[in-house]
Amino acid sequence: MNQVSFVCCPVCKSANHTHFISTKALMHKLNNECYVFNKCIACKAVFLTNRVNESVLNDYYTDSYLPYKGSGAWGKFSSFVERSQKQLDLKRVRFVANITESRADLNILDVGCGNPSFLHLVQQKLNAKCTGIDFSDYGWKNSSFDKITLIKTTIAEFEPSGFFDVITLWHYLEHDYHLGETVEKLYKCLIPGGKLIIEVPDYNGISAKMQKQFWQGWHSPRHLTLFSKKSFHSLFAHNKWKIVKHLRYGTLDAFTLWWLGKMEKKQINWSNSMEKEFWPLVFLKIVSFSFFIFEKVFPMGIQLLVIEKK
Ligand SMILES: [Zn+2]
């Protein structure tokens, strides 16, 4: 049995929920698997009701999973993609600098760091002490990052040697199997006044409404929970946390999320080289520029929060 039925909302534990959307396994080889997301009536979180067992999760992180393939998936255009990744990392570093007022000697933890290019940059730019954790060392095992501490572990098993000023979770929380326990652990890892920076997909954005079952925010079966404003307030209890910022856009640009959904609908073979998709992507980016320029005005599918430990 590789699937587990989930009958309660993973955020507020309510058993009162209704069908929201069904999808196939996304960014995966062609398949007839069916994943069912329900919406919690109480906190409005949308969650996967038939999760795959964590033990078989690796079957969904294959050569069809673009983020693991990195820029190499783009063949002769890989340098363009690397540059775009650097710009994304830089946006994230600036965001951290902004909310910490560029304080020196920050102690930063990145959960689900994958390829730790963000941490590498934050260490260089802010001279921060950086730690990255991930359940897989795929993102760093063939590289050397001597000024960063990288640990192959889960957040549950992570044993920090000190407390962190900032913990970043760039597209991690929607993957988490044990939300309540994770939030408790994050609380224990932060100094009082320390901040969580959380970026996740936003199912209330325009791209989810347009692309329906192909929207990459579902990312079935890797994504388990899609959050609403109310669900964040439920997960981060007011007596322990303060939500200081909730933006309906993020560092990941909405165009990228939309383009991935477009490729899903086209049923591309994700394990092939992406080379031939490069110029159509550039063309689309140019013609859709005047639409995505409004991503800070109209929510298009990404949300970014800063949550402070009281
Ligand atoms: Zn709920």
Confidence grade of residue 3 (pLDDT, cut at 50, 70, 90): confident
User: What per-residue confidence (pLDDT) applies to 133?
Assistant: 97
SS (H, E, C) 173-196: HHHCCCHHHHHHHHHHHEEEEEEE
Confidence grade of residue 1 (pLDDT, cut at 50, 70, 90): low
pLDDT tens digit sequence for 36-58:
999 999 999 999 999 999 889 88
User: What per-residue confidence (pLDDT) applies to 306?
Assistant: 98
User: What per-residue confidence (pLDDT) applies to 24?
Assistant: 96
The pocket of ion ligand 1, defined by CB under 5 A, consists of 9, 11-12, 14, 40, 42-43, 45
Rounded to an integer, the average pLDDT of 58-78 is 84
- Pair 210, 203: CB distance under 8 Å: no
DSSP letter string, 186-232: HHHHEEEEEEEEEEEE-TTSHHHHHHGGG-TTTTTTT--EE--HHHH
Q: Measured in angstroms, how far is the CA atom of residue 48 from the centroid of ligand 1?
A: 12
Phi, psi of 212 (to 5 degrees): 45, -120
Amino acid at 48: L
User: What per-residue confidence (pLDDT) applies to 290?
Assistant: 82
The larger pLDDT score, comparing residue 106 to residue 5, is at: 106
- Pair 305, 246: CB distance under 8 Å: yes
Q: Which helix (H) or strand (E) holds 164?
A: strand 164-170
Q: Does residue 167 sit in helix, strand or coil? A: strand
Q: Measured in angstroms, how far is the CA atom of residue 179 from the centroid of ligand 1?
A: 12
Q: Measured in angstroms, how far is the CA atom of residue 295 from the centroid of ligand 1?
A: 27
Q: Measured in angstroms, how far is the CA atom of residue 11 from the centroid of ligand 1?
A: 5
pLDDT higher than 80, residue 74: yes
Rounded to an integer, the average pLDDT of 203-227 is 96
Q: Does residue 86 sit in helix, strand or coil? A: helix
Q: Measured in angstroms, how far is the CA atom of residue 242 from the centroid of ligand 1?
A: 19
- Partnered with residue 108 across adjacent β-strands are 130, 166
DSSP 6: -
Q: Provide the mean pLDDT of the chain.
A: 93
| Overall pTM surpassing 0.85 (yes/no) | yes
Q: Measured in angstroms, how far is the CA atom of residue 234 from the centroid of ligand 1?
A: 8
First to last CA, the chain: 42
Q: Distance between CA 153 and CA 139 in Å, rounded?
A: 13
Q: Measured in angstroms, how far is the CA atom of residue 69 from the centroid of ligand 1?
A: 34
User: What per-residue confidence (pLDDT) applies to 296?
Assistant: 86
Non-local CB neighbours of 280 within 8 Å, separated by 6+ positions:
none
Q: Measured in angstroms, how far is the CA atom of residue 6 from the centroid of ligand 1?
A: 12
Phi, psi of 40 (to 5 degrees): -75, 130
pLDDT tens digit sequence for 140-164:
888 888 899 999 999 999 999 899 9
Q: Does residue 89 sit in helix, strand or coil? A: helix
Environment class of 18 (CB within 10 Å of its CB; exposed 0-12, middle 13-18, buried 19+): exposed
DSSP letter string, 110-134: EET-SSTHHHHHHHHHH--EEEEEE
Q: Helical H runs in the chain?
A: 66-69, 78-100, 117-126, 179-189, 206-211, 229-235, 254-265, 278-287, 289-292
Rounded to an integer, the average pLDDT of 90-117 is 92
Q: Distance between CA 297 and CA 309 in Å, rounded?
A: 28
Q: Measured in angstroms, how far is the CA atom of residue 196 from the centroid of ligand 1?
A: 21
